Structure 1
Amino acid sequence: MIAKIIYGQTCTGTLNYVLGKEGVQVLGYGNTFSQSISPKFFGSVLYFQGQRNATKNRYAHICLNLPHGEHLDDRTFYKISEEYMENMGFGHQPYIVVRHKDTKHEHVHIVTTIVKEDGKVLPIYNSHRRSMATRQQLEKKYCLTPAPTMRRKEQLPIHRLPKLKVGADANQGTRYYLRDVLNTINQRYKVCSFEELARLVKPYHIEVKTRENKSGRIGVKYGLDNQKGYRTSFINGSEVHRNLSGPKLQKVFDIHSKSKLLPIHRKRLLKQIGTTYDLFQTIHPYDLEEVAKEYQNIDIKLDKNENLIEGYTVYDKSMYVFRARELSQKIRMQNRLDIFGNGNEPTQIDTESKQFKLEVQKTIREALTTSYLQSPKRGGLLSEHIATRNFGDIVPNLNTSEKFRFLESYVPETKKGKFRKSLHDTFTLVRARLYELETKKEKAALQNKFNLIGKVLKNKIFNVGTEQGSVRLLFQALGVKYHNDRLSFTNSNKHAVPVKLGKLSFPKEMENYVSSGFVRQNHLMLEMLSEQSSERGPKLTAAGMFLPMIFPKLYKRMNPEYKTRYENLALSAYIKHAERRHAPFEKSAKDYIALFNAKGFYFVKGEEGLRVKSIYTGNESSHTLSRRTSLYLSSIPNLTETLKEQQPVINNLVEDRRNRLENLWSGHLIERGVYDKVAFMLTAEKVYPNLHREMVQHHMDNGLRQSIIIASERQSSIQQNQVLRKGAYAISSILGGSSTNTEEMYNGFKDEFTDFAKNKRKSRGMGLPW
Structure 2
Amino acid sequence: MIGQLVYGETCRGTLNYVFGKEGMRILGYGNTFSQGISPKFFGSVLHFQGQRNATNNRYAHISLNLPHGEHLDDGTFLKISKEYMDNMGYGEQPYVVVRHTDTKHEHVHIVTTNVKEDGKVLGIFNSYRRNIATHQHLEKKYGLAPSPSPKTKQERQLPLYRLPELQFGMEATQGTKFYLQDVLNGINQKYKVRSFEELAKLVRPYHIELRTTKNETGRIGVAYGLNNQKGYRTRFINGSTVHRGLSGPKLQKVFDTHSKSKLLPMHRKRLLKQIETTYALFKTIRPHDLEEVLKEYQDIDIKLDKKEDTILGYTIYDKSRYVFRERELSPIIRMQNRLDIFSNGDRPTEIDTESKQFKLEIQKMIREAFRTSYLKSPKQDGLLSEHIRTKNLGDILTDLTASKNYLFLDRYIQNNRKVLFRETIKKQFPIVKERLYQLEIRKEKETLENKFKLIRDVLKKDVFNVGTKQGSVRLLFQSLGVKYHDNQLSFAQSHKHTVPVKLDKLPFPDAMESYVSSGFVRQNHLMLEMLTEQSSENSPKLTASAIFLPMIFPKLYEKMNAVYKKQYESVALGSYVKNAERMHTPFEKSAKDYIALFNAKGFYFVKGEEGFEVKSIYTDNKTSCPLPKRTSQYLGSIPDVTTTLKKQYPVINNLAEQGRNNLKNLWVGHLMERGMYDKVAFMLTNEKAYPNLHKEMVQHHMDNGLRKSIVEVSERRTSIQQNRLLRKGVYAVSALLGSSRKKSEEVYNGFKDEFTDWSKYKGRGLSI
Determine the structure 1 residue equivalent to 2:695.
Answer: 693
| Inter-partner Cα distance in structure 2 for 1:260 and 1:336 | 30
Whole-Å separation in 2 of the counterparts to 1:296 and 1:156 = 26
Instruction: Quickly say closer, same or farther: Cα 1:346–1:531, change in 2 above 3 A.
Output: same
Q: Is the 8 A contact 1:468 1:507 kept in 2?
A: no
Q: Distance in 1 between matches of 2:173 and 2:60?
A: 24
The aligned residue for residue 19 of structure 1 is 19
Q: Does 1:529 align with 2:502?
A: no
CA RMSD of aligned residues (A): 2.6
Partners of 1:405 and 1:641 lie apart in 2 by 59
Equivalence for 1:53: 53
Residues 225-240 of structure 1: matches in 2 within 5 Å? 225-240=227-242
1:540 aligns with 542
User: Identity over aligned residues, as a percent?
Assistant: 71
Change (3 A) 1:135 1:459: same
Helix, strand or coil at the partner of 1:434: helix
d(CA) in 2 for partners of 1:633, 1:150: 22
Q: Which amino acid letter does the alignment assign opposite residue 234 of structure 1?
A: F
Q: Structure 1 residue 638: deviation in Å?
A: 4.3
Per-residue deviation at 1:156? 5.3
The alpha carbon displacement at 1:318 in A equals: 1.2
Q: Which residue of 2 aligns with 1:651?
A: 653
Residue 597 (structure 2) aligned to one of 591, 595, 598? 595
Deviations 1:342-371 (A, max 9, x none): 333322222332222222222222222222
Shift of residue 115 of structure 1?
A: 1.5
What corresponds to 2:564 in structure 1?
562
- Whether 1:28 and 2:28 are equivalent positions in the alignment is yes
Query: Match for 1:287: what amino acid?
Result: D
SS at 2:15 equivalent: helix
Q: 1:29 touches 1:95 (CA, 8 Å); kept in 2?
A: yes
Equivalents in 2 of 1:202, 1:529: separation in Å?
55
Farther-moved stretch of structure 1 (347-356 vs 622-631): 347-356
Kept in 1: contact 2:172–2:241 (CA 8 A): no
* Structure-2 residue corresponding to 1:299: 301
Query: How far apart are 1:508 and its partner, in Å?
Result: 9.5
Shift of 1:153: 6.1
1-structure distance, mates of 2:198, 2:335: 20
Unaligned runs of 5+ in 1: 722-770
The one-letter code matched in structure 1 to 2:419 is G
Contact 2:527–2:546 (8 Å) recurs in 1: yes
Q: How do residues 258-297 of structure 1 correspond to structure 2 at under 5 angstroms?
A: 258-297=260-299
Cα distance in 2 for partners of 1:436, 1:470 equals 35
Partner of 1:661: 663
Rounded Cα–Cα distance in structure 1 between residues aligned with 2:421 and 2:279: 19
Give the Cα separation in 1 of the matches to 2:160 and 2:609: 55
Supply the distance in 2 between the matched residues of 1:702 and 1:296 (Cα, whole angstroms).
32
> Structure 2: how far apart are the matches of 1:716 and 1:435?
44
Q: Is the 8 A contact 1:367 1:394 kept in 2?
A: yes
Q: CA deviation at 1:383?
A: 0.9
Letter in 1 for 2:452: F
Kindly provide the amino acid, as one letter, of the partner of residue 31 in structure 2.
Answer: N
| C-alpha displacement of 1:697 | 3.5
Q: Distance in 2 between matches of 1:674 and 1:286?
A: 41
Name the structure 1 match of 2:585.
Answer: 583
What is residue 496 of structure 1 aligned with on the other side? 498
Matches of 1:166 and 1:366, distance apart in 2: 56
Letter matched to residue 55 of structure 2 = T
Alignment-derived partner of residue 636 in structure 2: 634
1:472–1:507 Cα contact (<8 Å) kept:
no
Match of 2:462 among 443, 446, 460: 460
Residues 170 and 232 in structure 1, CA contact (< 8 A), matched pair in contact too: no
1:660-683 CA-to-partner distances (Å, cap 9, x unmatched) read 212222222233333333333334
Cα contact 2:165–2:232 (8 A) shared by 1: no
Cα pair 1:470 1:507 within 8 Å, conserved: no
Q: Deviations over 1:286-309 (max 9, x none)?
A: 222222222222222211111011
Q: 1:646 to 1:174 in 2, by over 3 A?
A: closer
Give deviations 1:519-571, integer Å, cap 9, x for gaps: 11111111111111121121111111111111111111111111111111111
Q: Aligned in 2, Cα 1:245/1:24: closer, same or farther, shift over 3 Å? A: farther
Q: In the alignment, what sits opposite 1:312?
A: 314
Letter in 2 for 1:577: N
Distance 1:639 1:226, change over 3 A: closer
Partners of 2:679 and 2:580 lie apart in 1 by 20
1:165-564 correspondence runs (5 A): 168=170, 172-506=174-508, 510=512, 513-564=515-566
In structure 2, the CA distance between the partners of 1:30 and 1:715, relative to structure 1 (3 Å rule), is: same
**1:169: how far off?**
6.4
Residue pairs, 1:730-749, within 5 angstroms: none
Shift of 1:170: 10
1:294 & 1:635 partners in 2: Cα distance?
Answer: 46
Range with greater deviation from structure 2 (227-236 or 512-521): 227-236
How far does residue 149 in structure 1 lie from its aligned partner after superposition? 4.1
Q: Distance in 2 between matches of 1:167 and 1:672?
A: 50
Distance 1:709 1:362 in 2: 41
- Residues 1:143 and 2:170 aligned together: no
CA distance in 2 between counterparts of 1:8 and 1:168 reads 22
What CA distance in whole angstroms lies between the structure 1 residues aligned with 2:657 and 2:169?
A: 74
* Per-residue Cα deviation, 1:556-590 (whole angstroms, up to 9, x for no partner): 11111111111111111112222222333333333
- Structure 2 unaligned segments of length 5 or more: list them: 724-768
CA distance in 2, matches of 1:45, 1:287: 60
TM-score of the superposed pair, with normalisation by structure 2: 0.89
Aligned to 1:41: 41
Residue 105 of structure 2 aligns with an amino acid whose one-letter code is H
Tell me the secondary structure at the aligned position of residue 494 of structure 2: coil
Do the aligned partners of 1:478 and 1:523 also contact (CA within 8 Å) in 2? yes
The answer to whether structure 1 residue 4 and structure 2 residue 1 are counterparts is no
Distance 2:161 2:310 in 1: 25
Task: Answer yes or no: is the 8 Å Cα contact 1:293–1:299 preserved in 2.
Answer: yes
For 1:99, the equivalent position in structure 2 comes to 99
Q: TM-score, normalising length from structure 1?
A: 0.88
State the alpha-carbon separation in 1 of the partners of residues 494 and 679 from structure 2.
Answer: 29
- String of CA shifts for 1:351-397, please: whole Å, max 9, x gaps: 33222222222222222222222234531111111112222223222
Instruction: Label 1:690 to 1:407 Cα distance change in 2 as closer, same or farther (>3 A).
Output: closer
Q: Cα distance 1:560–1:170, how it changes in 2: closer, same or farther (>3 A)?
A: closer
